[in-house]
């Protein structure tokens, strides 16, 4: 293991970027630290702050063994600055500088654009912790509570990752931006988070699992494109964040899967074949499949909005400058400049959806969103396998890209779930079947009761197939009673 893969603990902030010999940045981060701890302490209810949680902490950036597991009280978690190892001779992978050596400093001409992208990414990280702050109070098990907290501390670390870049490379402006990341807050009237989906509430655990499946996956795609950046410190930061992100989406996929599994199991035991026999199914204390589909529709469409306009000159500029690449840029077989290439985007003409080819450079967002949709479809297929195995006739689906959009060509149009433009009355009537209603929310809320016995699970969710760190089924992932 090379020196750079080891994390040093000789300062308040664990890191592998040599902070102890970078006095200026160390001082700036130490100044920012108390505000961060305040933010954390005000967010998470006290009883959980005092409880040891079985968490993984990064001790290296070696992909084969970067984490160790142990009980940690969350305010004592060692949030650190961790960059993936530098790749010798790395080149800028795309845009007009393709093939030139990657930058170790920010080029002056791209400073503003780069700072903005880092701030937008940084803003999402604490936002999700804010959105999830009440969930531990209704955790369906200690296993799930532990996963929630693992994700929360890691999103906190992702904030640190972006704040480090701001302090290290962007001087006084960077410091101001870092302070603002703690000033804005999810759902706030005066200072909301920057992106829509990050101001929505996460009121229950089904929402949480859908969020980590769909919205963390948007995070993955954004990180993948920033991992291609010609600005090497940004690329290295994002590459390490991606190793943590994988677990967040695992929690989402298996969480939804376990809810589906439990519903199917309860239906079979009660002899109910019809997934739309909602009243009887709900009497079993499980979440009916059509309601799960409605939650899916909501979270998927909110997440599509995060990719921005289909055709975007900002995205073209970022790609052309080599600040942001495409998903798997280095594995794509083309000139990586896109001077003459085209890409198919959706548009709207006289109420009809049309697809047309536009210069690929301007369609960078659309391409990333298409890659996202393909990636997101994988888990939906696996959820359907669970339903099929139970012998129930129901299929989960990703809704049409035009449905329920607030951003892009389909914004604020009345498309149904299959992408058909419908009149206002039809739309209003359909909505209750497409998106969660108030009553659906209330029903789900009625199930949200804490289950804090080790090895036990709430009525509406199956036990996981695999444990964390090979622990036995009755392992006490959070020691609520040892405070
Ligand atoms: Fe994150
Ligand atoms: Fe995440």
- Interval 229-280: pLDDT, tens: 999 999 999 999 999 999 999 999 999 999 999 999 999 999 999 999 999 9
Q: Is the pLDDT of residue 9 over 70?
A: yes
The residue among 153, 125, 195, 165 whose CA lies nearest residue 49 is: 153
61-103: pLDDT as tens digits: 787 777 889 999 999 999 999 999 999 999 999 999 999 999 9
Q: Quote the pLDDT of residue 279.
A: 97
C-alpha 248 – ligand 2 centre gap (Å) = 5
**DSSP assigned state of 454:** T
The residue among 345, 401, 415, 396 whose CA lies nearest residue 373 is: 401
Nearest ligand to the C-alpha atom of residue 252: 2
Q: What percent of the chain has pLDDT over 90?
A: 91
Q: Mean pLDDT over residues 378-383, rounded? A: 98
C-alpha 151 – ligand 1 centre gap (Å) = 8
Tokens of 446: 């009625």
pLDDT classification of 1: cutoffs 50, 70, 90 = very low
Q: Is the pLDDT of residue 154 over 80?
A: yes
Q: Mean pLDDT over residues 339-358, rounded? A: 93
C-alpha 453 – ligand 1 centre gap (Å) = 29
Measured from the Cβ of residue 269, the count of other Cβ atoms closer than 10 Å reads 9
Tokens of 460: 């509406």
The residue among 212, 239, 213, 214 whose CA lies nearest residue 158 is: 239
What residues pair up with 57 in beta bridges, in sequence order? 68
Nearest ligand to the C-alpha atom of residue 132: 2
C-alpha 84 – ligand 1 centre gap (Å) = 15
Tokens of 357: 């080819």
Nearest ligand to the C-alpha atom of residue 238: 1
The residue among 371, 155, 120, 124 whose CA lies nearest residue 245 is: 155
Nearest ligand to the C-alpha atom of residue 241: 1
User: What's the number of domains the chain is made of?
Assistant: 1
C-alpha 178 – ligand 1 centre gap (Å) = 16
Q: Is the pLDDT of residue 470 over 80?
A: yes
C-alpha 129 – ligand 2 centre gap (Å) = 10
163-188: pLDDT as tens digits: 999 999 999 999 999 999 999 999 99
- Phi and psi at residue 343, to the nearest 5°: -145, 145
Nearest ligand to the C-alpha atom of residue 245: 2
Helix, strand, or coil (residue 152): helix
98-126: pLDDT as tens digits: 999 999 999 999 999 999 999 999 999 99
C-alpha 362 – ligand 1 centre gap (Å) = 26
C-alpha 232 – ligand 2 centre gap (Å) = 22
Tokens of 191: 């200072």
Nearest ligand to the C-alpha atom of residue 214: 2
The CATH number of residue 172's host domain is: 1.10.620.20
Nearest ligand to the C-alpha atom of residue 246: 2
192-210: pLDDT as tens digits: 999 988 999 899 999 999 9
Q: Quote the pLDDT of residue 5.
A: 59
Average pLDDT, the chain: 95
Tokens of 374: 């393909």
Q: Is the pLDDT of residue 6 over 80?
A: no
Q: Give buried/exposed letters for 174-197 (b at 16+ CB in 10 A, else e).
A: bbebbeebeebbbeeeeebbbbeb
C-alpha 149 – ligand 2 centre gap (Å) = 12
Q: Is the pLDDT of residue 144 over 50?
A: yes
C-alpha 103 – ligand 1 centre gap (Å) = 24
Tokens of 118: 């880092």
Segment holding 426, helix H or strand E: helix 424-434
The residue among 210, 287, 223 whose CA lies nearest residue 249 is: 210
Around ion ligand 2, residues with a beta carbon closer than 5 Å are 216, 245, 248
C-alpha 254 – ligand 2 centre gap (Å) = 15
C-alpha 435 – ligand 2 centre gap (Å) = 24
Cα separation of 282 and 263, whole Å?
9
Segment holding 353, helix H or strand E: strand 352-359
Q: Is the pLDDT of residue 2 over 50?
A: no
Nearest ligand to the C-alpha atom of residue 124: 1
Of 5-19, 290-304, 457-471, the poorest mean pLDDT is in: 5-19
Q: Which domain holds residue 131?
A: 3-482
């Amino acid at each position: 293991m090379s020196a750079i893969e080891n994390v040093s603990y000789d300062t308040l902030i664990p890191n592998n970027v040599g902070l102890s010999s970078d006095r200026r940045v160390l001082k700036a981060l130490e100044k920012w630290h108390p505000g961060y701890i305040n933010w954390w302490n005000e967010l998470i209810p006290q009883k959980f702050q005092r409880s040891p949680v079985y968490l993984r902490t990064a001790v290296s950036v070696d992909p084969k063994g970067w984490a160790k597991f142990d009980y940690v009280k969350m305010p004592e978690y060692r949030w650190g600055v961790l960059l993936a190892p530098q790749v010798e001779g790395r080149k800028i992978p795309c845009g007009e500088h393709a093939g030139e050596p990657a930058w170790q400093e920010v080029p002056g001409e791209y400073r503003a654009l780069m700072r903005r992208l880092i701030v937008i990414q940084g803003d999402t990280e604490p936002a999700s912790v804010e959105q999830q702050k009440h969930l531990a109070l209704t955790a369906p098990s200690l296993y799930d509570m532990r996963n929630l907290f693992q994700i929360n501390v890691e999103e906190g670390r992702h904030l640190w990752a972006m704040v480090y870049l701001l302090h290290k490379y962007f001087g006084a402006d960077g410091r101001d931006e870092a302070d603002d990341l703690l000033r804005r807050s999810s759902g706030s009237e005066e200072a909301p988070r920057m992106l829509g989906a990050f101001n929505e509430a996460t009121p229950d655990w089904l929402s949480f699992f859908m969020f980590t499946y769909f919205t963390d996956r948007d995070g993955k795609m954004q990180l993948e494109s920033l991992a291609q950046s010609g600005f090497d410190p940004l690329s290295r930061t994002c590459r390490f964040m991606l190793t943590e992100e994988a677990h967040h989406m695992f929690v989402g996929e298996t969480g939804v899967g376990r809810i589906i599994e439990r519903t199917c199991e309860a239906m079979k035991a009660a002899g109910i074949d019809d997934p739309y026999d909602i009243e009887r199914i709900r009497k079993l204390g499980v979440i009916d499949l059509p309601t799960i589909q409605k939650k899916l529709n909501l979270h998927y469409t909110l997440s599509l909005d995060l990719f921005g306009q289909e055709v975007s000159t900002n995205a073209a500029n970022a790609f052309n400058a080599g600040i942001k690449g495409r998903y798997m840029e280095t594995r794509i077989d083309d000139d990586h400049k896109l001077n003459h290439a085209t890409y198919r985007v959706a548009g709207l003409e006289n109420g009809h959806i049309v697809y047309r080819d536009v210069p690929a450079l301007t369609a960078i967002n659309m391409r990333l969103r298409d890659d996202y949709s393909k990636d997101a479809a994988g888990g939906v297929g696996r959820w359907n396998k669970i339903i099929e195995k139970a012998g129930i006739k129901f299929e989960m689906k990703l809704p049409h890209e035009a449905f329920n959009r607030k951003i892009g060509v389909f914004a604020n149009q009345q498309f149904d779930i299959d992408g058909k433009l419908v009149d206002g009355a039809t739309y209003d009537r359909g909505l209750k079947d497409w998106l969660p209603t108030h009553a659906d929310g209330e029903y789900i809320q009625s199930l949200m009761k804490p289950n804090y016995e080790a090895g036990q699970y709430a009525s509406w969710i199956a036990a996981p197939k695999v444990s964390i760190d090979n622990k036995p089924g009755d392992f006490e992932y959070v020691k609520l009673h040892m405070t």
